[in-house]
Amino acid sequence: MDKEFVSEIADINLDFPQWYTDVIIKTGMVDYGPVKGTMVIKPYGYAIWENIQEYLNKKFKKLGVQNAYFPMFIPESFFKKEAEHVKGFAPEVAVVTHAGGEELNEKLIIRPTSETIICDMFSKWIKSYRDLPMVVNQWCNVVRWEKTPRPFLRTSEFLWQEGHTVQVSADDAEKNALVMLDTYEQMLKELLAIPVLTGKKTEKEKFAGAVSTYTLEAIMKDGKCLQSGTTHNLGQNFAKASNIKFLNKDGELEYGYSSSWGVSTRLIGALVMTHGDERGLKLPPSVAPIQVVIVPIASKKAGVVEKCEEVMQTIENADIRVKLDNSNNTPGWKFNEYEMKGVPLRLEIGPRDIENGVATAVRRDTHEKLQIKLDNIVNEVNKLLTDIQDNIYAQALDNIKNAIVVTNDYKEMVDEVNNKKVALSYHCGDLTCEENIKKETTIKTRCIESYDTEHKCIYCGKKSKYRVYFGKQY
């Protein structure tokens, strides 16, 4: 029974891409939309997104972020205001040409990101330093047309949050980008149990229109990097393009300094590929839609179902997300089903357990089986969930540490990256030099680890500017 069930998922070691597709489809997280490149986020996937939203909204509130909603239609003329920005996004946009039965006078761009429209509104709202900082966030859909889509990772439409700020100084904008980077890093650690590399993007890899971009790079089980969030110090670029001026404390008109930051439904893909194993998903309790599943054993025996329902109620009352599976499927089938779905903890309750006043608990992370007392069930379950959360993070941290190798030679770097590693190497920081590496190998820089001018660039041999992570990417 076990074997048959597990074989529905491709072998994680032999075919990681197929394993990913199998897991996300078969666990009911996602389905393909009718338009190529689009996805349907099904309830089991969407619940994860809702948990991310809830976590971030609480953090945002403490940081003084206010939620709002801006139109998704951006006039083509707005979109073109910031030169780098339009160059970066033009190839990916979807365009509305007709509406209300007529051809439009001006084409509308569906937001690939909202800097241009939000900055336009900010220019109307901001008059004085007293209006600053302005810190606004929106949860919305965005569109970036994808030629080679993959659910959660790259889709033509996806969901995200985008925060946008205007500050009184360059320093404040930079600080904000770093505060949000830190907030995302905490979220990734505490909620998703994903350790990340954080740092600045190189000039070549930064956001179109930014002064500097910071990134959170998670490393998947196949050694590829997944950009899991970015924060941008936009300097005065968008303020100048949109004419955001404020009266500063000295009574002078000055352009504002802005930042923006976002995470998207990509995070769900990162979650799958950071923790999953040969049995399927492995979800950290903090974000799992179902934290505990109860499976009745010999459920036709008197009192079993009743006891399961009682235990479920007790656990649910303690605000633990619990499901009792009382269906006609066999216990073996259910074990496999919920392991595939990554439910962190399974409780089996049968006649003998009831006699002994216990439930048999099985951990998804270690497969460890243990007896826990029914009369102390909430404490026992909470203790286990905390321990599972910590352990899943520790496992992921081990993986990421093992994935990183220091290389001081170009060929070695390329070999290591092709061998599923992330390489940490010195680079001169020259745009063309970085471009050449990418052309030869498809390998890109992920983020700057540290600044260092004492070494030589692995590619051109000139003086190094920094040490940077090289890796393949999703």
Place of tokens 């929106």: 138
CB 115, min distance to a copy of itself, A: 14
Which residues neighbour 3 within 8 Å (Cβ) at sequence distance 6 or greater? none
Which of residues 102 and 252 has its CB atom nearest to a copy of itself in the complex?
102
Closest CA relative to residue 281, chosen from 15, 20, 4: 20
List the end-to-end C-alpha distance of the chain, in Å, as a whole number.
35
Which of residues 5 and 145 has its CB atom nearest to a copy of itself in the complex?
145
- The token pair at 473 is 């990417």
Q: Are 158 and 92 in contact (CB under 8 A)?
A: no
CB 97, min distance to a copy of itself, A: 5
Beta bridge mates, 292? 322, 345
Which of residues 107 and 175 has its CB atom nearest to a copy of itself in the complex?
107
Burial class (CB in 10 A: 0-12, 13-18, 19+), 88: middle
Which of residues 17 and 28 has its CB atom nearest to a copy of itself in the complex?
28
Residues lying near a copy of itself in the complex (CB under 8 A): 31, 33-35, 38-43, 46-47, 49-50, 66-75, 78, 90-101, 108, 110, 117, 120-121, 124-125, 136, 140-141, 143, 145-147, 156-157, 159
**Which own/partner pairs from 123-126 qualify as long-range (CB within 8 Å, at least 24 positions apart)?**
123/242, 123/243, 123/244, 123/245, 126/166, 126/244, 126/245, 126/246, 126/256
Which of residues 34 and 251 has its CB atom nearest to a copy of itself in the complex?
34
Which residues neighbour 2 within 8 Å (Cβ) at sequence distance 6 or greater? 332, 335, 336
Which of residues 43 and 303 has its CB atom nearest to a copy of itself in the complex?
43
CB 112, min distance to a copy of itself, A: 11
Alpha helix (H) residue ranges in 105-253: 115-125, 170-190, 237-242
Which of residues 163 and 235 has its CB atom nearest to a copy of itself in the complex?
163
Q: What are phi and psi of 51, to 5 degrees?
A: -65, -35
Q: Are 57 and 67 in contact (CB under 8 A)?
A: yes
CB 266, min distance to a copy of itself, A: 14
DSSP state of 193: -
CB 375, min distance to a copy of itself, A: 29
Query: Rounded distance, CA 366 to CA 271, Å?
Result: 18
CB 110, min distance to a copy of itself, A: 7
Which of residues 136 and 437 has its CB atom nearest to a copy of itself in the complex?
136
Place of tokens 């950009």: 227
CB 283, min distance to a copy of itself, A: 17
CB 1, min distance to a copy of itself, A: 20
Which of residues 61 and 369 has its CB atom nearest to a copy of itself in the complex?
61
CB 191, min distance to a copy of itself, A: 18
- The token pair at 178 is 């770093």
